[in-house]
Structure formats: C-alpha cells, structure tokens
Structure 1
Amino acid sequence: MNNPKVLIVDDEPDIRELLEITLGRMRLNTLAVDSVSSAKSALAEDTYNLCLTDMNLPDGNGIDLVKHISQHYSDMPVAMITAYGSMDTAIEALKAGAFDFVSKPIDLQRLRELINNALQLVTPIADTTINKQTQLLGQSAVMIQLGKQIIKLARSQAPVYISGESGTGKEMVARLIHEQGPRADQPFIPVNCGAIPSELMESEFFGHKKGSFTGATNDKEGLFQSADGGTLFLDEVADLPAPMQVKLLRAIQEKAIRPVGSQQELKTNTRILSATHKDLAEMVANGQFRQDLFYRINVIELNVPPLRERQEDILLLANFFLRQLAESCQTPPPHLTPEAEKALLAYNFPGNVRELENILERAFTLCEADEISASDLKLNVDSATPATSITPDSDQQSVTTESPIPLDGSQSLEDYLAELERKAIVQALEESRWNKTAAAKKLGITFRALRYRLKKLGLD
C-alpha cells in the first residue's frame, strides 16, 4: 500500500522545508506549493489524504482554499496553519470546514498529533434509520439530517456546542461524534458541570499536586488529562461559575492546563464538546456567561430536536425500549394496544426521549398479560401516581407515599423508596419460600414485573 500523500500550501520556503522534512520522517509523501492556484491545480491532478495550508497566500486566502476543498474534496481533511495568537482566524477556518489548525511557530509534536488524527479518518457508513444509540433511533427527516450532521462533525476537530431540551439525547450525540471520528479509540470523558462543587472544580478539571491544599495527599490527574487524546464532554456547561469560565477559556485557547499547586503548564490534546438545555446566547446577553468562552465553545452549534417535533419516531422508539426491557428480564416483549399507541402519539413529551423511556419502564412493570394499554401508560396522572407501585397483601404492612418518611438528609427520596421496595420484595419472597410466582401474587404485581424489579434491584 502506498504511503499517504499530503499537500502542503505555504509561500514561505523555510516553512515548506520544515513541513516536508517532518512529514518525510513520518513516512508520508508530500507535495509543497506556494499559492492557491498551484494548490487547486495539484488537487485536480492527483489524490491527497490531507492538505496543510497557510492562511495568507500570494494569490488568495487560505479560508477560500478550505471552502474549495470542503466543496469539491469533502473526504479529504484540510488543516490551517495560522499566525501565533490568531485564534479568531483559527475559528473562522474551523467554521469554513477545516479539520483542525496549528499555530506558528509550529509545535512539531502538536503537528504530528494533528496529522495522525487526520489520517485516521475514514468515511463511516451512516445508518440514519437506527443509529448506534437508542436516543438517536429515528426515521424522521430531522433525525436523518441530524445523522448526516454528526458524520460531518465527526470528521472535524472543531468545538461543538450541542443545544436542545432536557432528555433529547445530547450526550448520545456527543458520544456518536466521538465514536465516528479519529479519536474513537481514545477516552470519551463526560462531566456534568453542575454536579461539581465550585471549590473543587479547578482540581477536578486540571488536577492538583500533592500538598497543594488541605486534603491533597497525592497528585491527582484532572479531567483534561484523563481525556488527553480523546474528547471531553462538558454537559450543562451553563452551570460553570464565572471564575472557572475564565480558566476554561485559557485551557481551550492555549491547549494547555496548569494543575493546582504546579508551576508548569501541561500540553493537552483534547477535543471539547459541550451542551446545555439552557439558552446560552440569552445568558451571554444577560451577562451570566462569558461571551468570549461562548465564542470558543460555540464554533459549530448542533441542535437536537425535541421528541414532539419527530412524532413519526415515537412508536419506533417505544417498541425499541420495550424490546430492551423484555431482553433484560428474558421475557417476550409486550405489545402496545391501538389505544396506547394513540395516547403516545397524542402526548407532548415535555421530558422528551428520557420521559418516553421512563413511561414505558413503568408500564412494563404494571401491565397484565402481554399488552400495554393506555391506562398502563398513566400519561395524565403522573402527579397522582405513587412513587412505588408495590401493593402488599392485607397481611403485610402497606407501603404508600402517605407513610411517614424519616429522611435525615443522608439518603435521597429515590434511594429511600428503593429500599422500601427491596424490603417488601424480600419479605414476600421469604414468606413464599422464594417461589417467585407466589411472591408476585402476594405483592399484587405480575410475574414479569417481579422479574424486572428483581433485576433492577440486584436481587436476581
């Protein structure tokens, strides 16, 4: 197999020579030209695996060449060589379709990483009817378009801001961008920015040195280091406090971090994807989020549509979730009655795909026989539905949400209810000598529902 071939476009002889020597040592074939017109001629005459182009050329602009390549040679990645500190130019190149950028003076290690990432790119085969993740299951026009956008963005290293309502599957979109790109075999590190205490945030993101603060008994690697070579997904990025926004901005711009207590910066090779359900542009306008950080993470925006805007996907998703639930319990999947299907199609799903999954999980445990009726879905009585559906026999103590709940802050309501459910199930099993059929009857639930709950609670 022939070695990959790289087209170098730069009007400075010293830069061309440096690039040719560096790429030659990487066993890459090169052709170096000094203008946009020469580059276009070379592209028309031969096939290349990568193009490296300078920004300022004698007969044109490197951005124009990026656009030309994106339009006529879309399978070939192109990287921009920018002047030192010209982040605005780099962002403009990424928006035009550049794979990545490297700044002058050229850091050869950074250049090698860029080239290796670019040469790993292969055009993935898109399955726009059923994507890898259930949250992206769909055959609607908006989901087919989203699948195409994911494939395109996977071939870039540009920061992507994923917008959309809660429950639409923004993290799954981020995972697909990562998995279909050149960093697929490297770590994908998701972090909920709203779940980290503000006083620990810098240490969590950048790591710390032993003794840098009280409790720092060992060196700790931060999230940027954990994601090095891969992707760092900043979920709910709108929840970052102002001081952390400043530090994150520097880390993104300089591609380097400084652990707490360290005097030395560490280079990072991390792609940044971010998301939030909030209106980040409005927060910028209100002074709640830094405009310069928004500008850096929002190089490309990708919107994930709410479920109500892709109604034709609802039943496809519903049946997929039911098959998953049935497989987890090793039982045949129940089917939705026509009335249940109509109820789902008429529902607004304010919680989107996540809500649909939760509705079906509940209906799966409550339904009789092998069908789910509209009443099993309980779409209009959520606020009146008990938090636990176990109904013990009359000789057992009743478990209802009206019972006093002695919470002291050490246990969440969800954990408390799970513990009540566990105790009721174990008691029923013990009283029936672990006969599951008898235990299900004693609890007033179906055998399928009991099997599901046993698996969920780790009692199977």
Structure 2
Amino acid sequence: MANPLRVLVVDDDPGMREGMALSLKRAGFVTEQARSGEDALRLTRPGAFDAVVTDLRMTGMDGLQLTARLKALDSGLPVLLVTAFGSLDTAREAMRLGAFDYLSKPFGPDELVQAVKKAIRSDDRLRAEAPGEAPVILTQDPALAETLALARRAADSKATILIQAESGTGKELLAKLIHASSPRRKAAFVAINCAAIPENLLESELFGYEKGAFTGATSAKPGRFEQAEGGTLVLDEIGELPLALQGKLLRAIQERTVDRLGGSRPIAVDVRLIALTNRDLATEVKEGRFREDLYYRLNVIPLRLPPLRERPADLELLALHFAERYSRENDRPTPALAPSFREALGRHGWPGNIRELENAIQRCVVLNPGDALTGADLAWLLGPEGLEGLPDDAELPPPPVMAAPAAPLPAPPPPPVPAGRDLRVADPHEPLKGVPLGTLVALPLGIPLPELERFWLLSTLWALEGNRTHCSQKLEIALRTVRNKINEYREAGFEIPASGHGRDTD
C-alpha cells in the first residue's frame, strides 16, 4: 500500500488553517500545520512533505518570502499560495519564485483538494519512470547535443561526473539520463541537496548513524550512500558542502566506504557519484572555499549544460512541448504560437532558464482564453521590464481576462429612489463616513470584488461607530474575518474608525 501524501498547511489564522487541514485530511492526506513562515521552515526538510499550502499575508514572513525559502530548500516541492487580496503583480511574483498555483479566497474544500492533487501530480519526483527508461531532453542545439552524447558514453563507466550549469538548466534531469543509460539503471537513484540541509544534520544524512549516536537517535539509520547501494548518488549544490565535510566525502570516494556517526567500523559502498553545482568550482578552489583534492576527484568527467539564452533554437521547441503538456493536463486544446509570441520568446533573457520558461508557458496556457498564444500574453506575464524592444502589436491585444480596462466604467444613472429613502452616489475607493445604515448607495459597474468588499465593510464600520462585533453581525461574517480585513486595510493606508467599546478592538 502506498504511503499517504503529506501536506504542510501554513496560516496565522487558526480557523482558516484548521479548516484547510481538515478538508485535506478528509481527502486522505496526512497534514501538519504551521502558524507562521518561520514555523514552516523549522518543520520542513527535503522529502518531508509532498506539497505546501500557505497563506500569502501573514505576520512576520509572508507567503512569497516563505515560497522563496522553501524552493531554495527543495526546488521540486510544490507550493500553493492562498489569499483574499490577489493581484496580477502578486501572481507574477509568485510564479517567478516558483509557486505552483495561486488560490483566491473564497474557495471550497473540493477546489483546495483538487489544486493540491494537481500540484503533486506535476511534481517530477512522483512521476514513475519504467526501469531503464531514460528521460527525454529536447534540443536542437549542437553544443547541448554534444554534451548529451558525451553523457551517454560516460554512463557505462564508474567514473565520477561533475555537471556545472546555471540553476534551472536541467542538471538533475541530465543526471537521471546518465543513471537510466547505465548498467545501474535498475538500482536506486538517490539525490540530496547539500545546500538545503543544516550543516549539523548533513553528515548524518550522507553517512548515516548508529543507535545512541546522539540524543534522539533511537535506532540506526543508513545514510544516502548506503541507500544508493548499487545505484547512483547525486550530490546537488556540491559547492555548498561545508569544508569540514569535504574531507570525509573525499575519503568515502577514495576508499569506497562510509563511517556512520557512532559506528565502530567502516561500511563498504558501491555507488556511482554525480555532483551538480551552479558555481565555478575551479574559482572556489582558488579562493579557498573548496578543497582542491576533492575537486579533482569529482571532476573526472566534466559536463556543462548551456543556459537557455545560449540555445535560441530550442526556445520554440520547448515552448511547444510545454504548451502541449499543460494543455493535456488542463483538458484544453493546444494553442498555436502566434508570430508575435515566437518573437517575444527571443526578447527575454530567461535568467531562470528552462524552469522559468516552463512556468511561463503553463501560466499562459491556463490564463489564455483563445486558441493562440501571442506576444501580448508573454508581455503581460513577464511585466513591462521582461521583454526588450517588443514591438507594439495592435492586432494582437492582451486577452480580456488578463487586461485591465483602459478607464473606469461610467456610473449608471441613479435608480428610482423609494419614498423616504436617501440615495448616495459613491466612489468605491472612498468608504462612506457618518452615513446611516439603510442608505441606498449607487456604485459604478465593473468594480473588482475586493474593492467592493472593502467599500461595504469600511462604510458599515463607520456607520456603526467602529463597533467590530456589530459589523460582523450586520454583514454576517466572522468577527475574526472583520478584524483581519481591518488590519489589511490599515496596512494599505485606509482610515479605520476607532472603537470605543472596551474589548471590541483590533
């Protein structure tokens, strides 16, 4: 029976946090809860969770900051952001930081569960590959094709391989290809990120420990070297390995043995080692941050993956691949790539490389309502600074769901006023003050829902002289929700009426 999937729920609102956790438990997930971003980081270790659901606005570390820290800890971990105050800028920033999706409140339990399931299905770590089946790396670039040919030739050997490339270029995918092309393909493929695990835990993760080796070691545990026995061990971000551990790693490579913490004898291991880094290790050696002898032990077969900006011929190929993939996943027809879209691809530097391109295409497929992706779609997604010299394309405007109206819609004519009732024509950006409850209010059509919500809540609060409890009762929403929104509006610069009712405060 498969192990249940684990989800971490992060929110500083206990009611919201517990509600999301309960919905996920009922769907069969195992959940843990964190009341802040700091608590979430203390709970998270590589492989500890299959997905994270976090609120955007929290006291202290917010959801965007937490997303960046989690992706640095485990780049494959799907993160879902939840908020009642969404915006296009926030969505862009969340995508840039690697968030999988963006849920706007209010949402139902089924919507949350489906979003989490979709995020986990998308996680490459959980996609089963048939034994011996090598992953496909798409390219038309001659330099990358040469690297792939060299990698396949090296796969048959026992030599250690060092892959140096920028983040997002597919270093681990290349390592999987080497493993799947080697005689070890039916054995374990084990990866560890040396930068994501605290230094005081990294040694035990690599080499294992015996029972009683330290407080809390209630049983023996094999390290990653032993877990990869007969197969391949990938050391990601090897340039971040502390100097204190570099000597022990060198000995393990030379002697083909490991010493568990608290152990009395060395344990023989047979593993194929592949090291990955986005640093120039030769420079790290010169500056004294990396051992020279370990560098030469690792650099037996050096491989380099070119960044995406050096692979212009692959941009369209990869864009089509991701468009087809995410169209299938979302049960949509695959959109064509308009000429302006193809041109726009080459006008962005893609500093996040393939990972950034994949996220961009996924977002375009999900949000584009038409049958073709245009340059305007990509310009909207990346922001005005994202594309250099993109020509104006009057025939290909942004999709309606992505574009804001050029100007506010005019207010409709005032409706007939019942006898004895007052009518006020209001600006939705200016909550009414001192207007009694029951007053008729006319607002323009086309006002975004969050702005309407803010107008009615603050206007009602002013009418009730700041009484939070009466406001929650009148609007039929939780008092906690009223207080949370008041805090949000105060941070945004709106004036909040003081409450003169004792404990009825923020």
- TM category (shorter chain) comes to 0.5 to 0.7
2:103 matched residue in structure 1:
none
Letter in 2 for 1:250: R
What SS class does the counterpart of residue 190 from structure 1 fall into?
strand
Question: Any conservation in 2 of the 1:367–1:373 contact (CA below 8 Å)?
Answer: no
Residues 412-423 of structure 1: pairs in structure 2 closer than 5 A:
none
1:269 matched residue in structure 2: 270
SS in 1 for 2:195: helix
1:303 shift after superposition: 0.6
Gap change, CA 1:396 and 1:236, over 3 Å in 2: same
Q: Structure 1 residues 357, 398: CA separation in 2 closer, same or farther (over 3 Å shift)?
A: farther
| 8 Å CA contact retained: 2:368, 2:377 | yes
Aligned residue in 2 for 1:368: 369
Aligned to 2:117: none
- CA offsets 1:244-292 (integer angstroms, 9 cap, x no match): 1111111111100011111111000011100111111000000000111
Q: How does 1:165-176 map to 2 (within 5 A)?
A: 165-176=166-177
SS at match of 2:162: strand
Deviations, residues 123-155 of structure 1 (Å, cap 9, x unaligned): xxxxxxxx9545x21122123212211211111
In 1: Cα distance, 2:187 partner to 2:288 partner: 36
* Partners of 1:143 and 1:280 in 2: CA distance: 21
Partner of 1:247: 248
Higher mean displacement: 340-349 or 171-180: 340-349
Q: How does 1:33-432 map to 2 (within 5 A)?
A: 132-133=134-135, 136-378=137-379, 380-381=382-383, 394=447, 396-397=449-450
Q: Given the superposition, is the C-alpha separation of residues 372 and 200 from structure 1 closer, same or farther in structure 2, using an over 3 Å criterion?
A: same
Contact 1:390–1:399 (Cα < 8 Å) also in 2: no
Q: Is the 8 A contact 1:322 1:333 kept in 2?
A: yes
Structure 1: segments with no counterpart, 5+ residues = 1-130, 401-460
Partner of 2:481: none
Please give the secondary structure, in 2, of the residue aligned with 1:302.
Answer: strand
For residue 222 of structure 2, give the secondary structure of its aligned residue in structure 1: coil
| Deviation at residue 398 of structure 1 after TM alignment | 5.8
Change (3 A) 1:304 1:345: same
**Within 2, Cα distance between the matches of 1:204 and 1:398?**
50
When residues 333 and 399 of structure 1 are mapped into structure 2, their CA distance, relative to the original with a 3 A threshold, is farther
If each structure's helix is expressed as a fraction of its own residues, which one has the higher value?
1
CA distance in 2, matches of 1:140, 1:255: 37
Consecutive unaligned residues in structure 2, runs of 5 or more: 1-132, 387-401, 405-445, 454-506
Looking at structure 1, the residues matched to 452 and 193 of structure 2 have their Cα atoms a distance apart, in angstroms, of 34
Letter in 1 for 2:234: F
Partners of 1:190 and 1:235 within 8 A in 2: yes
Distance 1:236 1:399, change over 3 A: farther
For the Cα contact (< 8 Å) 2:134–2:180, is it kept in 1?
no
Aligned counterparts of 1:172 and 1:149: Cα–Cα separation in 2: 15
Amino acid paired to 2:377: D
The TM-score with structure 1 as length reference comes to 0.55
1:174 maps to amino acid: A
- CA distance in 1: counterparts of 2:403 and 2:290, whole angstroms: 46
Residues 133 and 210 from structure 1, CA distance in 2 versus in 1: closer, same or farther, beyond 3 angstroms? Answer: same
The offset of 1:322, in angstroms, is: 0.6
Return the alpha-carbon distance in structure 2 between the equivalents of residues 395 and 303 of structure 1: 49
Output the aligned Cα RMSD: 2.6
Q: Is the 2:209–2:220 contact (alpha carbons within 8 Å) kept by the matching residues of 1?
A: yes
- Distance in 2 between the 1:299 and 1:321 partners? 34
AA partner of residue 370 (structure 2): A
Deviation at 1:236, TM superposition (A): 0.4
- Paired with 2:286 and 2:170, the residues of 1 have a C-alpha distance of 26
Aligned residues: 266
Q: Aligned in 2, Cα 1:399/1:366: closer, same or farther, shift over 3 Å?
A: farther
Aligned 8 A contact 2:307 2:353 in 1: yes
- What secondary structure does 2:274 align onto? strand
Residues 177 and 382 of structure 1, relative CA distance in 2, 3 Å threshold: farther
Tell me the SS of whatever aligns to 1:172. helix
- Per the TM alignment, residue 306 of structure 1 is displaced from its structure 2 partner at its CA by 1.1
Instruction: Confirm or deny: 8 A CA contact 2:134 2:176 kept in the other structure.
Output: no
Q: Which residue does the alignment assign to 1:128?
A: none
Cα contact 2:330–2:366 (8 A) shared by 1: no
Q: Note if contact 2:163-2:276 (Cα within 8 Å) is conserved in structure 1.
A: yes
**Structure 1 residue 397: deviation in Å?**
3.1
Q: What amino acid is the match of 1:193?
A: C
Deviation of 1:374 (Å): 1.1
Asked whether the equivalents of residues 363 and 376 of structure 1 are also in contact (C-alpha less than 8 Å), the reply is yes
- AA partner of residue 397 (structure 1): P
Between the aligned partners of 2:358 and 2:177, the Cα distance in structure 1 is 20
Provide the rounded CA distance (Å) in 1 between the counterparts of 2:267 and 2:150.
33
Q: Distance in 2 between matches of 1:367 and 1:228?
A: 47
* One-letter code aligned to 2:189: F
AA paired with 2:264?
Q
Distance 2:452 2:300 in 1: 52
Question: 2 CA distance for matches of 1:398 and 1:265?
Answer: 66
The range that moved more, 266-275 or 347-356, is: 347-356
* Structure 1 pair 398–219 and aligned structure 2 pair: CA distance change class (3 A): farther
Structure 2 distance, partners of 1:256, 1:195, is 24
Shift, 1:363, TM fit: 1.3
Displacement of 1:382 in angstroms is 7.2
When residues 307 and 195 of structure 1 are mapped into structure 2, their CA distance, relative to the original with a 3 A threshold, is: same
Q: CA–CA distance in 2 between the matches of 1:133 and 1:315?
A: 20
Q: What corresponds to 1:106 in structure 2?
A: none
